[in-house]
Amino acid sequence: EPEVTQTPSHQVTQMGQEVILRCVPISNHLYFYWYRQILGQKVEFLVSFYNNEISEKSEIFDDQFSVERPDGSNFTLKIRSTKLEDSAMYFCASKTGQGSYEQYFGPGTRLTVT
Amino acid sequence: AQTVTQSQPEMSVQEAETVTLSCTYDTSESDYYLFWYKQPPSRQMILVIRQEAYKQQNATENRFSVNFQKAAKSFSLKISDSQLGDAAMYFCAYRETSGSRLTFGEGTQLTVNP
């Protein structure tokens, strides 16, 4: 069964560095999402992406964050200058179309900012 | 803003028994979707069951069923004949009909005892 994949599984970076988290959504899916979960807190929505543009973003998704679909398969989240509070598990998700209910989640990337 | 609350951080159940996980939410919308997601130790969230708010009938998927009380804004998950493989973190989530972002509860860690 097709799955959403994410790389790397764990990323350690120093404060102030740029990181790119990568996701490969399911191939026929059109809507893409990033969520994050800080340890001990709720899973929070960051951004949704459709037709090569952001369709919705949360207040967390400030100018330090950007998303891109650089080719037909990858979907990336870039954090320009990481802060300690960016340490979290980042989940990518995708779904087929506007009428579909289910978002399919990847296994997550654990980002540790030191 | 919509909020989702799961007041049970941890629950346990004996194998083959039934367990109910609680979820309440707050919204001013009349139409929306509610979901239960399961996150096994491998950390890939998968959809267990969904409920459309306009439907009075409670959703059922094999051993999983919900008790949807719209007026009370309550959405509990019942797992019958619990199996060892049901052990996971369970998240309740809300989505507006017009939007696509999921709003999650805190999660309930379910342990199944043999």
Question: Given CB atoms, is A45 within the 8 Å cutoff of chain B?
Answer: yes
Residue B1 has pLDDT above 80, yes or no: no
Question: Given CB atoms, is A105 within the 8 Å cutoff of chain B?
Answer: yes
pLDDT band, residue A91 (cuts 50/70/90): very high
Closest to A107 (Cβ–Cβ): which among B43, B104, B105?
B43
Q: Which of A1, A5, A45, A47 to mutate to test the interface with B (most CBs of B within 10 A)?
A: A45
Residue A105 has pLDDT above 90, yes or no: yes
Question: Given CB atoms, is A33 within the 8 Å cutoff of chain B?
Answer: yes
Give the pLDDT confidence score for residue A10 in this predicted structure. Answer: 96
What is the C-alpha separation between B37 and B71, in angstroms, rounded?
23
Contacts of B8 (CB under 8 A, 6+ apart): B21, B22, B108
Q: Which of A42, A48, A59, A96 to mutate to test the interface with B (most CBs of B within 10 A)?
A: A42
pLDDT band, residue A73 (cuts 50/70/90): confident
A85-95: burial string, b at 16+ Cβ within 10 Å, e else: ebbbbbbbbbb
Among candidates A16, A21, A17, A18, which has minimal Cα distance to A75? A21
Compute the average pLDDT of residues A54-61: 94
Measured between alpha carbons, how far apart are the two ends of chain A, in Å? 37
Give the pLDDT confidence score for residue B104 in this predicted structure. Answer: 97
pLDDT band, residue A11 (cuts 50/70/90): very high
A36 contacts A91 by C-beta, under 8 angstroms: yes
Give the pLDDT confidence score for residue A1 in this predicted structure. Answer: 79
State pLDDT tens for residues B24-76. Answer: 999 999 999 999 999 998 778 999 999 999 998 999 999 999 999 999 999 99
Q: Long-range contact list for A105-108, CB < 8 A, 24+ apart?
A: A105/A4, A105/A35, A105/B37, A105/B44, A105/B45, A105/B46, A106/A3, A106/A4, A106/A5, A106/A6, A106/A23, A106/B44, A107/A5, A107/A6, A107/A9, A107/B42, A107/B43, A107/B44, A108/A6, A108/A9, A108/A37, A108/B43, A108/B44
What is the C-alpha separation between B38 and A72, in angstroms, rounded?
29
Residue A19 has pLDDT above 80, yes or no: yes
What is the C-alpha separation between A31 and B42, in angstroms, rounded?
24
The chain B residue lying nearest A106, using CA atoms, is B44
State pLDDT tens for residues B87-104. Answer: 999 999 999 988 889 999
Give the pLDDT confidence score for residue B98 in this predicted structure. Answer: 83
Give the pLDDT confidence score for residue B29 in this predicted structure. Answer: 92
Establish how many alpha carbons lie within 13 A of residue A31's alpha carbon, considering only the half-sphere containing its beta carbon: 18
Among candidates A23, A18, A105, which has minimal Cα distance to A69? A23
Give the pLDDT confidence score for residue B44 in this predicted structure. Answer: 87
Rounded to 5°, the CA angle A67-A70-A75 comes to 50
Amino acid (1-letter code) at residue B60: T
Give the pLDDT confidence score for residue B90 in this predicted structure. Answer: 98
- Partner-chain contact A42 B101, CB within 8 Å: no
Q: Which range has the worst mean pLDDT, A37-41, A51-55, B96-100?
A: B96-100
Query: Would you tell me how many other CB atoms lie within 10 Å of the CB of residue A59?
Result: 7
Closest to B102 (Cβ–Cβ): which among A3, A45, A108?
A45
